[in-house]
A and B are shown apart, each in its own frame.
Chain A
Amino acid sequence: MIDEVKKKRKMTMQISRRNFLKFTGTVAIGAGVLPKLIWLDDAIAAIPASEGYLLVDTKKCQGCLSCMLACSLVHEGIENLSFARIQILQNSFAKFPDDLTMAQCRQCVEPACVEACPEKALYVDKKNGNIRIVDVKKCIGCKACVQACPYEPGRALWNSEKKKALKCDLCSGAPFWSEKGGVKGKQACVEVCPLKAIQFTKKIPEQKGETGYKVNLRGESWRKLGYPTD
Chain B
Amino acid sequence: MNGYAGKILRIDLTDRKISTIDTKDYEQWVGGHGMGSAIFWDLVKDKTIKGFDPRNIITIMTSPLSGTLAPGASGRTEVQGIGIQSYPIGWFTRSNFGGRFSAMLKYAGWDGIVIEGKADKPVWVDIRNEDVKIKDARPLWGLDTWKTQEDIWREVSGRGFGGWVELDSERRTTQRPAVLTIGPAGENLSVTACLIHDAGNSAGQGGFGGIWGSKNLKAISVIGTGSIQIANPKGLMEARLWAQKKYSTDLNNPDASWVARFGRRRPQNLFWDKQEKARLNSCIGCHIGCKERSDTGYGNESTCHETFFYAGYDKAKHGGKQTSAAYIATDLLQKYGINAYEASRGLTYIRALERMGLLGRGKKIECDLDFRKLGETEFADQFLKMIAYRRGIGDDFAEGFFRAAKRWGRLEEDLKAGILYYSYWGLPEHSYDPRAEVEWGYGSILGDRDINEHDFNFLFWWPSGAIWAGKTPQPPAEQAVKIIAEKLMPYENDPLMLDFSTDNIYSEHMAKLVGWHRHYTRFWKESVLYCDNRWPEFINSRVPGYRGITGEGEPKFLNAVTGKMLTFLDGMEMGRKIWNLDNAIWILQGRHRNMVHFSDYIYNVPYKGTGNFAMYYLPGREKGKWDYIRVDGRHLDRAKFEEFKTRFYDLEGWDSRSGWPKRGTLESLGLKSVADELEKNKKLGA
Contacts and interface: CB of A to CB of B under 8 A. Distances in A.
Interface of A: 59-66, 69-70, 72-74, 76-83, 87, 89, 91-97, 99-100, 103, 152-154, 158, 160-161, 176-178, 188, 191-192, 194-196, 221-222, 224-228
9 contacts: A63-B282, A66-B286, A73-B236, A79-B67, A93-B149, A96-B277, A195-B251, A222-B251, A226-B268
Given A60-B279, A78-B233, 13 more contacts: A62-B282, A63-B289, A64-B284, A66-B240, A72-B227, A81-B174, A81-B225, A92-B198, A96-B279, A96-B293, A96-B295, A152-B162, A154-B164
B279 A153 contact: no
Contact of A87 (B74, B174, B199): B174
Contact of B283 (A59, A64, A178): A64
B301 A225 contact: no
B171 A160 contact: yes
A62 B248 CA distance: 15
A21 B503 CA distance: 81
A160 B225 contact: yes
A6 to B, nearest CB: 33
Interface in B160-191: 161-164, 170-176
Nearest to B248: A194
B162 to A, nearest CB: 6
B163 A96 contact: no
B237 A74 contact: yes
B238 interface: yes
Interface in B120-164: 146, 149-150, 161-164
B230 A224 contact: no
B460 interface: no
A181 to B, nearest CB: 12
Contacts of B69: 66, 69-70, 73, 79, 192
Interface string B182-222: 00000000000000001110000000000000000000000
A82 B171 contact: yes
Given A96-B278, A228-B277, A70 B237 contact: yes
B265 interface: yes
Contacts of B457: none
Contact of B230 (A78, A82, A83): A78
A94 B227 CA distance: 28
Contacts of A224: 254, 265-266
B673 interface: no
B501 interface: no
A118 B251 CA distance: 46
Contact of A221 (B163, B241, B252, B287): B252
Contacts, number: 180
B170 A160 contact: yes
B259 to A, nearest CB: 11
B297 A89 contact: no
Contact of A95 (B162, B200, B289, B297): B297
A61 B279 CA distance: 7
B300 A93 contact: yes
Contacts of A192: 69, 237, 240-241, 244
Contacts of A94: 293, 297
A93 B248 CA distance: 28
Given A64-B285, A69-B68, A83-B227, A153 B164 contact: yes
Given A74-B237, A224-B265, A62 B289 contact: yes
B229 A78 contact: yes
B276 interface: yes
Nearest to A94: B297
A194 B173 CA distance: 23
A191 B69 CA distance: 13
Contacts of A227: 278-280
A194 B107 contact: no
Nearest to B238: A178
A191 B241 contact: yes
B346 interface: no
B274 interface: yes
B234 A95 contact: no
Contacts of B236: 73
B267 interface: yes
Given A79-B67, A152-B162, A192-B244, A158 B251 contact: no
A217 B8 CA distance: 43
Contact of A66 (B162, B200, B287): B287
A226 B251 CA distance: 12
A225 B250 CA distance: 10
A65 B284 contact: yes
A183 B35 CA distance: 45
Given A73-B237, A196-B251, A92 B300 contact: yes
Contacts of A60: 279
A225 B237 contact: no
B674 interface: no
Contacts of B285: 64-66, 69
B296 interface: yes
B329 interface: no
A-B pairs, 4 with minimum CB distance:
A176-B233, A92-B198, A92-B199, A95-B297
Given A96-B294, A226-B268, A80 B225 contact: yes
B371 to A, nearest CB: 32
Contacts of A97: 279, 295
Nearest to B265: A224
Given A63-B282, A79-B67, A226 B237 contact: no
A124 B457 CA distance: 55
B175 A99 contact: no
Contacts of A69: 67-69, 74, 284-285
A227 B67 CA distance: 28
B578 interface: no
A181 B396 CA distance: 62
A100 B266 CA distance: 22
Contact of B172 (A64, A79, A82): A82
